[in-house]
A and B are shown apart, each in its own frame.
Chain A
């Protein structure tokens, strides 16, 4: 075989077709930051699940012989003023923060997608009403209402999930609405209409899937937003309250003794930063992988 026939053979060979998921995975895997984010996030999940194996204490037990102790072998992260093991508290707090963040961001994204896409496609009175509700909830100082409600229900993390969901979906719904308004005139939507598909079915089967990339990226970044607001609420004493702990309430505990017992602040703070940064790296990687016009992950 000559060199020229090799070349032509190569050129005429059909290009290897990758499945969509494999293509996205390949683009994602090229992004070193995104991989680091996945590794950090998995590490945090493992720590939340199995971190309690490193200590013989639970987060609510008090070791009265070790009050406000710096890290030792018995208490790898030290203890607080009440003799609680900080490692056990951090593991429990991380579980709380992770569960709250994941649930809230999934729920808000579902609501935002259904309301935003539904309002854009169905139009008319429903659209005007949804937009008015969204704008009103955006003007109302949501942090004040969050604090009011979650303060009253006294720190139950399940109620916190509901409250954060109710006041967290509007902004995404607004974005999804404005993107979906351009979708309702598309040919494939028209075709579905002519085939007699019911309106809500069009919204759920034809419009929402088209927003997939946007939804996945916003879902990831929503985790960060939820972690930040949960932390802020719990730090101010309006979120998760004792005896339960989250990373935010641990920060508040550490704040008062920051110069005398810095380990109470350092460990939960470190976990929080690793959590938000890893999620952000994953979100950035997903955006680049799913966006066909982005070449930051290399071509193809």
Chain B
């Protein structure tokens, strides 16, 4: 098992390195850091801009290989992922934003998984009942609602709700209200800001868990080993819980393992709509502001999280599925 995980890890690290370097060349090719300085208002010559960009290794007058060497040296030797064209350190920016994204997405993800899987299990054993039909319709519609539409729809509802109540109960923007004193009121304020984005993430995220878990359990519900279990004298509920459910949870566990690390890569559209400064908005910001190093760091981080998720998924499969043996 350990050797298997090690071998997979080595393979993934190679993938990450390749993907990160590919991202660097793509970003260097498609993003032009000079245009940021051109937009600053004061007219500068290209020469002045190049001089300003040179200390960060972003000077377009240097060859792309030189810039790559400058960047990779710092990454390998100091784990320093470089600077934005305006000189902000990528490391400090990412460190701060990962926490923000984690705070925002973690609760939403956990709620989606729990709600979705519970609904899937409940409705699969009552296939074509009233509850099943209604929740299935709702989930399929929600599954097909674009995130932007769903999140903005919630904002619209919150604005209407706040007007009805007369005070701002549901905050539609930001992670906290500036200038609040006292630890308790600050904590409460932060939680209050979390409500809407969490609801958005849960409503738009649970549907796929519900639909897949329902389908998985329906597949195993009629399997021979469940009938055998019934034949040994178990009640239907016992047979489902001990045999069908356990088998159908294996693929779900794999997906959960894949999902958990992606919590930290953030939710691009939800963060944009609700004005959170997390990894998702950092990603759009790097591209809009021609921040080559920032964009590459996001790509590397995303690839690393995918790899960790995949390794977790492998471990989960081996741990849960008695039929799988690895060497």
Residues of A within 8 A of B (CB): 135-136, 139-141, 143-145, 147-149, 151-152, 224, 227-228, 231-232, 235-238, 248, 251-252, 254-255, 258-259, 262, 265-266, 269, 272-273, 276-277, 280, 284
Contact = CB atoms under 8 A, between A and B. Distances in A.
Nearest to A265: B152
A258 B31 contact: no
Contacts of B148: 231-232, 235, 248, 251-252, 255
A254 B23 contact: no
B299 A141 contact: yes
28 contacts: A135-B15, A136-B15, A136-B18, A139-B15, A139-B16, A140-B19, A140-B299, A141-B19, A141-B23, A144-B298, A145-B23, A147-B283, A148-B31, A149-B26, A227-B146, A228-B146, A231-B149, A232-B148, A235-B146, A236-B284, A238-B284, A251-B146, A255-B273, A258-B155, A262-B156, A272-B149, A273-B145, A276-B144
Given A141-B303, A151-B287, A248-B148, A259 B18 contact: no
Contacts of B268: 143, 232, 236
Interface string B1-20: 00000000000000110110
B30 A144 contact: no
A251 to B, nearest CB: 5
Contacts, number: 112
Interface residues of B, number: 39
Interface centre among B31, B298, B299 (most CB of A within 10 A): B299
B144 A224 contact: yes
Contacts of B153: 269
B90 interface: no
B135 interface: no
Interface in B135-179: 140-141, 143-149, 152-153, 155-156, 159
B141 A277 contact: yes
Nearest to B288: A237
Contacts of A227: 146
Contacts of A265: 152, 156
B298 A148 contact: no
Given A140-B19, A144-B302, A235-B269, A277 B144 contact: yes
Interface in B272-293: 272-273, 283-284, 287-288
Given A258-B155, A262-B156, A277-B141, A145 B26 contact: yes
Contacts of B273: 255
Contact of B287 (A136, A147, A248): A147
Contacts of B298: 141, 144
A276 B299 contact: no
B30 A148 contact: yes
Nearest to B307: A139
B88 interface: no
Interface centre among B140, B145, B148, B268 (most CB of A within 10 A): B148
Contact of B283 (A144, A149, A152, A237): A144
B308 interface: no
B145 A276 contact: yes
Contacts of A147: 283-284, 287
A236 B30 contact: no
B218 to A, nearest CB: 11
Contact of B26 (A148, A251, A252, A277): A148
Contact of B19 (A136, A251, A258, A259): A136
B306 interface: yes
Contacts of B284: 147, 236-238
Nearest to A140: B19
A237 B148 CA distance: 13
A149 B27 CA distance: 9
B61 to A, nearest CB: 20
A281 B133 CA distance: 14
